Structure 1
């Protein structure tokens, strides 16, 4: 489904790639979708794990974009050069905006971890995806914004995908 098919007033959980596409300017659809959350047209949710994933990915992208490291094995290069990590800041500034975008951040619990394991076995999802699904279902939400088509295998979840990436 497309983002504009989500009716106003609905709740939706948001995957990391939606934030990354917004902050990097890759997807105008993701930016418009997040603006709807910020305006209160819908209740946006994500998890603390997603926020950390966004922060990590944006940090690596910033380092490459600034020419401080070359693409490929960026995490190792940053680990080997902590002075580069210290010099980066845009990624953190952007990540900290998530809470001000009308998106509530849900902390993961041990119950979410147990549910995530069950979703991994049932649907073959990777760990972070399964944890996001666990939080989504625990909140009684059936809407998920993502670019990850693996979620299309999950019964009972309506997946909203950007079409411009």
Structure 2
């Protein structure tokens, strides 16, 4: 089901990859951008967690550091750990995250009991990060997710909206 088909008034959890499609101008750029415009206008109620922000910022820092300091993407974490002052030279990643934070999106807390995440991992055969997203959704009564990740389709009771353009 396409992002453009998410019904008005729907409460939906937004996965990190929707923001990353836009940040990196990837194949689902336009549809993801149009969807976030709908969220910003409150046509659709968007929800994320700190985990989503962490995923997005981590990827943005890596990408910008790779370009800025002319190092391979896989070497950025080690480089920044050895040269922590270089983090202050980055600007695009912070600006991009500020744009996300300025949208009409509600940031939800992760559940305090990690056993819920473990149970979701085992029951629905999800990796930890995806199980954490599902646990946030379940803890907050959210049954829709917008994502580029097909793995959520195996979770009963969750409606998955994906970019298709």
The TM-score with structure 2 as length reference comes to 0.91
User: 1:159 maps to what in 2?
Assistant: 160
User: 1:130 maps to what in 2?
Assistant: 131
User: 2:72 maps to what in 1?
Assistant: 70
SS across alignment from 2:74: coil
- Contact 2:62/2:73 (8 A) holds in 1: no
- Contact 2:111/2:135 (8 A) holds in 1: no
The TM-score with structure 1 as length reference comes to 0.91
Structure-2 separation of matches of 1:91 and 1:10: 29
Superposed CA RMSD in Å reads 1.5
- Contact 1:11/1:43 (8 A) holds in 2: yes
Structure-2 separation of matches of 1:68 and 1:163: 33
- Asked if residue 92 in structure 1 is aligned to residue 91 in structure 2, the reply is no
Q: Unaligned regions of 5+ residues in structure 1, if any?
A: none
Structure-2 separation of matches of 1:129 and 1:72: 22
- Contact 1:9/1:42 (8 A) holds in 2: yes
Displaced runs of 4+ in structure 1, greater than 6 A? none
SS across alignment from 2:145: strand
Deviation by residue 1:32-68 (Cα, 9 ceiling, x = unmatched): 1111000110100000111111111111111223353
Deviation at 1:89, TM superposition (A): 1.8
Deviation by residue 1:92-122 (Cα, 9 ceiling, x = unmatched): 12112223211111121313x2221111011
- Asked if residue 11 in structure 1 is aligned to residue 11 in structure 2, the reply is yes
Deviation at 1:76, TM superposition (A): 2.1
SS across alignment from 1:45: strand
User: 1:110 maps to what in 2?
Assistant: 112
- Contact 2:13/2:142 (8 A) holds in 1: yes
Q: How many residues align?
A: 163
